[in-house]
Structure 1
């Protein structure tokens, strides 16, 4: 068993502070769930991936936060793809996740995952008002062109598009967010986004349910954003989006999202092993 530490969704400038840290545990066959949770808690990253049944073209993967197992994690998948490539796997690896098969195209520097199908639902007014209160936002902070929604793709992610200037001032009530996430069963982050231009977005992702205050980069939520824009007709298809995240935390990250006219969204990111 190897416990590796990666930074996923690093920026093109290869800033050593960039990227979202993820644990990647290779050859984890002998671990039970309690062991996995203990390792994830000890690493303290938002997610750690545990890989078993590894072949040159496939593997079983599970994801743990410091608090619990979750169904899927984008940045830990990108990190796992690069880690497996450096061990000789690829160039296409089919990962068996708790939400279905996720094909991942891999190289020694980056990976592209094919996200699971995502549904887009409206948020009830009462739930939206409570969510905004936990984020210390009001309806006046929302982007009138992009209504909030609930994205279900691997994990449920509430999507909250906001006006310019709101992200920089975001200061959520972590305990209140956690209570709402626990009650609603939202295993994913709260995806607060600002549309900079037609295909460029900035985001911040509170994630108390994952055992951290905020996630520096969230591939599954970015995939959900692409599915939302397509489903609601907010962007011409096909499209390539960039999502910038983590700057406010001192961990700038870059996520590239390919949205086809139909079918599953693709998410690409670079990854580097942490020394």
Structure 2
């Protein structure tokens, strides 16, 4: 039986190129989760988004790697919303998406350089006493304590990850983690992965790398949810909740993600944005 149509799009592009290749599928109720993982393997992408479009007001979107289903995926959400706008034929759409038991607002707009997408990430938990690494994760990242620019911090939009500030961009780009050891440490501590970053002097821009071998992704080209987490952390510590983060340079696929955090009655919430370049549909047979 032929598989469903699959489109691979580049999510969170930078200057009209790069981005994270993400497979987007209009879901079929006949598919099993084993089928969805197989489709993720067949596309050669790290992440795949499956859209149940039967609810036009708030489509359900699920995310898979080749190994497992994810609770959510930031750049996958950006890719999925771009496909929905393209399929609608509209120039702009303000809608909602259901993922991981949460329904949230989305915006997609056609631009000359692609489709711009923003979505509400929701509240970001920033627990106190976040340095729970006891050195194990730092060593697994291939870093020494002198390489760490400030306190590490756990941040969670639903799935916790560790934010690790390094002293400069050169340190960031030269990192060579021990992925087996890092996966073990992240599983032991309950982290999705480690988002390592270096900020510019103005702290309005920065560079980052996301390592998540515990879920089968050694390094992400773009990890949008972690950018939202970083925006929340920066708002909490410096009062600046707007950031543009460059990723993917070490993987020869430069990406850019925008994050904006604000205080609300529910705590710190974040919005995440990025541009999408649509690719042609592919046939997996």
TM-score normalised per structure 1: 0.90
CA RMSD of aligned residues (A): 1.8
Matches within 5 A, 1:169-180: 169-180=174-185
Aligned counterpart, 1:192: 196
Aligned counterpart, 1:270: 275
Aligned counterpart, 1:28: 28
Q: 2:204, 2:244 within 8 Å by CA — same for their partners in 1?
A: yes
1:149 corresponds to 2:153: yes
Find the residue that maps to 1:119 and give its secondary structure. Answer: coil
| CA drift at 1:99 | 4.3
1:61 corresponds to 2:61: yes
Q: 1:142, 1:162 within 8 Å by CA — same for their partners in 2?
A: yes
Unmatched segments (≥5 aa) in structure 2: 281-285
| CA drift at 1:171 | 0.4
Aligned counterpart, 1:245: 247
Aligned counterpart, 2:206: 201
| CA drift at 1:269 | 0.3
Quote the Cα distance in structure 1 between the aligned partners of 2:134 and 2:144: 10
Deviating 4+ runs (over 3 angstroms):
53-57, 122-126
Deviation digits for residues 149-208 of structure 1 (CA, Å, limit 9, x no counterpart): 111113221110110121021100011111122333323x31001111321111011121
Q: Given the superposition, is the C-alpha separation of residues 30 and 123 from structure 1 closer, same or farther in structure 2, using an over 3 Å criterion?
A: farther
Aligned counterpart, 2:262: 260
1:6 corresponds to 2:1: no
Find the residue that maps to 1:191 and give its secondary structure. Answer: strand
Find the residue that maps to 2:16 and give its secondary structure. Answer: coil
| CA drift at 1:131 | 0.6
| CA drift at 1:209 | 2.5
Find the residue that maps to 2:126 and give its secondary structure. Answer: strand
Q: 1:37, 1:67 within 8 Å by CA — same for their partners in 2?
A: yes
Aligned counterpart, 2:172: 167
Quote the Cα distance in structure 2 between the aligned partners of 1:248 and 1:93: 34
Aligned counterpart, 2:143: 137
Unmatched segments (≥5 aa) in structure 1: none
Quote the Cα distance in structure 2 between the aligned partners of 1:152 and 1:99: 16
Of 177-186 and 191-200, deviating more is 177-186
Q: 2:58, 2:103 within 8 Å by CA — same for their partners in 1?
A: no
Q: 2:131, 2:152 within 8 Å by CA — same for their partners in 1?
A: no
Quote the Cα distance in structure 2 between the aligned partners of 1:240 and 1:270: 17
| CA drift at 1:124 | 5.7
Quote the Cα distance in structure 2 between the aligned partners of 1:123 and 1:99: 28
Quote the Cα distance in structure 1 between the aligned partners of 2:256 and 2:175: 20
Aligned residues: 266
